[in-house]
Amino acid sequence: MEADLVIIGAGSGGYEAALYARRRGMKVILVELSPETVGGNCLNKGCIPSKFMRHGAYLIDKLSKMKQWGIFPTGYTFNFSHLKSERDKVIFTIRENFKKFAKTVNIPIVYGKGIVKDPHTVYVEGAGLTIKTRFILLATGSKPISVGKLLPDGRRILDTDQIWNIEKIPSRILIVGGGAVGVEFAYIFKNYGCKVTLVELRRRILPTDDIPEDSARYLGRKLRQIGVDIRTKTTVESYEEIPQGLQVKLTDGSELIVDLILLAIGRRPNTEGIGLEDAGVEKDERGFVKVDSYSRTTVPGVYACGDITSPLMLAHKAMYEGKVAVSHMLGENEWQRDPMIIPKIVYSALEVASVGLTEDQAEEEGYDVKVGVSSFVFNPKAMDDGENEGFVRIVVDEKSGKILGAHIVGPHAGELIHQVIHMIKGNLDIDMAVRSMYAHPSLSEAVGQSLSEIKYGSLTWTKR
């Protein structure tokens, strides 16, 4: 078997890169572990099923607020197995469409474990197949980690691969880890009627530098308001199985009894047993495959994308890096990875979206930082929709007028952030952005308003 490009891993990055390469005329072969894992973690055990369940949680939220529009629901019954089967139907539909489409555009998927034999040879274990190829793209993804004593047993202690299999919503859950996954599940379980405790070892939820303190604090307040028990600087000290569930002792000295523990503490790259060492593909000290701005590894002809390249494990980052890699294979040099335009989006009790630099990061990099903030509280569209919470924060370099970052908390933040992504990508400065158009009424007005605040100062500062 021969190809221009063999892609190991048909997750978000591998699949998107395959379609892009095919579209650009390359002969592509995808290698994936099994027909059930096509689509990777995002589709099968990550963003797609979690966003489905999150929409259900959002609907339950909406049910309780409908009276504002004259609608008084008399109640509802809840059927978890129906939720689950509908959720899995969405996954199945997307996965089967993926496969059908690959077939239509003539991208073979070979099932088995892809191993790099040399920079131009991939051996597929299981299929017993050797493929000769001009280029290789590594897109093998990641898997959940566990820490310390907390070992997932698939029964009482579940990791983010196992949580999808539960047969009912537990009465009491302890979520370990206050990152994106932890706060997403906290909202889902809480609204579906579960008592939720969330512990985070660091001093705040969403404890990464690329999400500002303000965003994390605003979401934390909202989660507490709906009844999630959040404990920062806290983790599990010990636990013991008792007839009623798990008796857990936390490091803050408190004890609680829960039915389940969900481990949402992070993931590690799938870089073992795929021949990287033999082929000479280098990894950094944290175990990630080293890549340059064209997604090239240290071995000519071998590229890598997605979760194996950095701890910022996001489906769209993988897709983007995959396309950058393919573009470079085709001899194009214009498309380089730009870390400034990768959005980080969290779907919890509110949507939290960040792109580019935070205020702190911009200051550290020596920019002349100016920040504009606009609240959704008095945004007319948000008021009409009863979702007037949150804010838009935009970070600009005052000297150059360059837009450095945006941090949005509130309704549809994950979509609204795109207008700032493209402003950053297109090097639009504040003058252009202020003079663009923002529909009225729209949520997007808040973007225009925070830009105006930077350009012209806060209205309340006006000289009388």
Give the footprint of its own copies on residues 356-375 (CB under 8 A): none
- Residue 253 backbone zone (phi > 0: left; psi -120 to 50: alpha; other: beta): left
Q: Which residue stretches of 290-403 are H helix?
A: 315-329, 359-364, 380-384
Residues 396-425 as x/- pattern, contact with its own copies by CB under 8 A: ----------------x-xxxxxx-xxx-x
**Residues 56-85 close enough to bind its own copies by CB under 8 A:** 56, 59-60, 62-63, 66-84
Cβ 333 to its own copies shortest distance, Å: 13
Cβ 146 to its own copies shortest distance, Å: 26
- Residue 28 backbone zone (phi > 0: left; psi -120 to 50: alpha; other: beta): beta
Q: Which is nearer to its own copies, 204 or 455 (CB)?
A: 455
Q: How far is CA 158 from CA 79, 112, 256, 354, 375, in A?
A: 22, 26, 17, 29, 38
Q: Rounded CA gap, 449 and 248, in Å?
A: 47
441 binds its own copies (CB under 8 A): yes
Cβ 257 to its own copies shortest distance, Å: 26
Cβ 345 to its own copies shortest distance, Å: 5
Stretch that binds its own copies, among 12-20, 135-143, 210-218, 301-309 (CB under 8 A): 12-20
386 binds its own copies (CB under 8 A): yes
105 binds its own copies (CB under 8 A): yes
Q: Which is nearer to its own copies, 176 or 186 (CB)?
A: 186
Stretch that binds its own copies, among 116-124, 194-202, 377-385, 389-397 (CB under 8 A): 377-385
187 binds its own copies (CB under 8 A): no
Stretch that binds its own copies, among 111-119, 249-257, 263-271, 426-434 (CB under 8 A): 426-434
24 binds its own copies (CB under 8 A): yes
Cβ 176 to its own copies shortest distance, Å: 25
Q: Which is nearer to its own copies, 43 or 246 (CB)?
A: 43
94 binds its own copies (CB under 8 A): yes
| CB proximity list for 338: less than 8 A, separation 6 or greater | 425
Residues, the chain, total?
464
Catalytic residues: 440
Stretch that binds its own copies, among 108-116, 148-156, 366-374, 428-436 (CB under 8 A): 428-436
Say how many CA atoms lie within 13 Å of 308 toward its Cβ. 29
Q: Which is nearer to its own copies, 121 or 419 (CB)?
A: 419
Q: Which is nearer to its own copies, 23 or 132 (CB)?
A: 23
Cβ 225 to its own copies shortest distance, Å: 21
202 binds its own copies (CB under 8 A): no
- The pairing of strands 391-397 and 369-375 is antiparallel
384 binds its own copies (CB under 8 A): yes
Q: Rounded CA gap, 456 and 449, in Å?
A: 10
- Which one of 32, 90, 199, 232 is in contact with its own copies (CB under 8 A)? 90
**Tokens 């489905």 identify what position?**
52
**Residues 244-303 close enough to bind its own copies by CB under 8 A:** none
Q: Rounded CA gap, 367 and 400, in Å?
A: 9
216-223 long-range contacts (CB < 8 A, ≥24 apart) are 216/352, 218/350, 218/352, 218/390, 218/391, 218/409, 219/183, 219/346, 219/348, 219/349, 219/350, 219/352, 219/409, 222/349, 222/350, 222/389, 223/183, 223/186, 223/187, 223/190, 223/198, 223/348, 223/349
Torsion angles phi and psi, residue 425, rounded to 5: -55, -40
Strand blocks (E) in 306-430: 344-347, 351-356, 369-375, 391-397, 403-410
**Residues 318-357 close enough to bind its own copies by CB under 8 A:** 319-320, 334-335, 338, 341-343, 345
